[in-house]
């Protein structure tokens, strides 16, 4: 099968492209810069450009759509243009090109309203209650994608939760850098249970969704390792792998949420050069439980994660050890 993978310059996109190649598919990657995926071809451009999207989907049998603007802050119009407009462009172009299979890679944040999620399945995407522009626009895009589902254009949405692994700059590197600088607090006592998913597992699950799309289309699935751990334990595992001290100081969650709201307000007026140090959404994520029932996901996709969290931490430690060795440290 000829498969277009969008966003393949990112960690998960590259892993998905490599997973599909290993399964024997012919892969074309579509993003703004070269993907670097050996064995895949590149079609460069933005999902916000309808002409570039039309060129990218030409001749393909399926689309796996990962490209998105991922940030805790930024101009709302940019999130709308890329996450909603880009998804609409891909859906329109794919249907025009006669493509029959479409996997939309969403986020569990589309159904997170700031309170704990304890053993739920994939709750409905809700843009009105979503926290922040990323979650809002991902929710709108998921609804767009599923609304396009039909017997001739089969769409499935998957929501990998907190993907991490070697080379991850979205979660792991930010945790490590903030811990190294002493700027990584535990909210309350760090006891909230949180699900995550190791990068290899996320890629294999997305490939499984594509393989099973004919029978599971029209549905949304949350993807996790199925091993919820306390926030403090997860952060400690990442920090230990990188050889930095785990967070020791604690901040009440209520204080962090208030501070996050204030920082967001300042960031809108005078954005910093990096992500804001705290937002209300981030404070909620670090202080409320969010773990998910994986029984339907595993049964429907005929998939189980191959890499445990403990094995993932060992692989992460080996990655950082190799980096230190290469640097002569």
- Taking the C-alpha atoms of residue 302 and residue 145, their distance in angstroms, rounded to an integer, is 23
- Taking the C-alpha atoms of residue 293 and residue 300, their distance in angstroms, rounded to an integer, is 13
207 membership: H or E segment, kind and range? helix 199-211
Q: How far is CA 136 from CA 107, 110, 130, 261, in A?
A: 10, 7, 5, 17
Backbone φ/ψ region at 255: left (φ over 0), alpha (ψ -120 to 50), beta = alpha
* Whether 134 is catalytic: yes
Please tell me the number of Cα atoms within 13 Å of 180 on its side-chain side: 10
Residue ranges of E strands in the chain: 2-6, 26-31, 41-44, 62-65, 101-105, 117-120, 154-160, 163-164, 186-187, 193-194, 197-198, 220-223, 229-230, 250-251, 290-292
Q: Largest alpha-carbon pair distance within the chain?
A: 57
Q: How far apart are the first and last CA of the chain?
A: 45
244 contacts: CB under 8 Å, gap ≥ 6: 176, 179, 180
Let me know: does 280 contact 264? Beta carbons within 8 Å: yes
Structure tokens that stand for 313 in this block: 């931490």
Determine which one of 104, 134, 198, 320 is catalytic.
134
Q: Which residues are catalytic?
A: 134
């Amino acid at each position: 099968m000829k498969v277009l993978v969008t966003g393949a310059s990112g960690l998960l996109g590259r892993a998905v492209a490599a997973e599909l190649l290993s399964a024997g598919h012919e892969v074309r990657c579509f993003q703004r810069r070269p993907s670097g995926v050996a064995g895949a071809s590149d079609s460069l451009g933005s999902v916000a450009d309808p002409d570039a999207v039309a060129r990218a989907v030409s001749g393909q049998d399926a689309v796996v759509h990962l490209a998105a603007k991922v940030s805790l802050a930024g101009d709302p119009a940019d999130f709308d243009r890329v996450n909603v407009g880009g998804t609409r462009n891909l859906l329109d172009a794919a249907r025009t090109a006669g493509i029959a299979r479409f996997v939309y890679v969403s986020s569990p944040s589309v159904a997170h309203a700031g309170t704990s999620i304890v053993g739920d399945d994939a709750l409905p995407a809700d843009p009105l209650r979503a926290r922040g522009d990323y979650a809002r626009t991902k929710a709108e895009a998921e609804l767009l994608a599923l609304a396009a589902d039909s017997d001739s254009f089969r769409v499935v949405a998957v929501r990998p939760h907190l993907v991490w692994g070697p080379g991850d700059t979205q979660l792991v590197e930010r945790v490590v850098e903030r811990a190294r600088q002493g700027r990584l607090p535990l909210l309350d006592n760090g006891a909230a249970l949180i699900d995550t998913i190791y990068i290899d597992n996320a890629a294999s699950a997305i490939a499984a969704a594509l393989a099973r799309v004919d029978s599971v289309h029209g549905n949304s699935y949350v993807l996790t390792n199925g091993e919820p751990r306390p926030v403090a334990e997860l952060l400690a595992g990442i920090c230990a792998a990188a050889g930095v001290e785990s967070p020791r100081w604690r901040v009440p969650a209520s204080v962090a949420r208030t501070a996050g709201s204030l920082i967001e307000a300042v960031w809108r007026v005078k954005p910093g050069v990096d992500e804001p140090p705290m937002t209300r959404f981030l404070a909620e994520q670090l202080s409320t439980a969010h773990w998910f029932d994986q029984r339907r996901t595993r049964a429907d996709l005929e998939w189980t994660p191959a890499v445990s969290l403990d094995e993932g931490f060992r692989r992460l430690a080996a990655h950082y050890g190799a980096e230190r060795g290469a640097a002569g440290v």
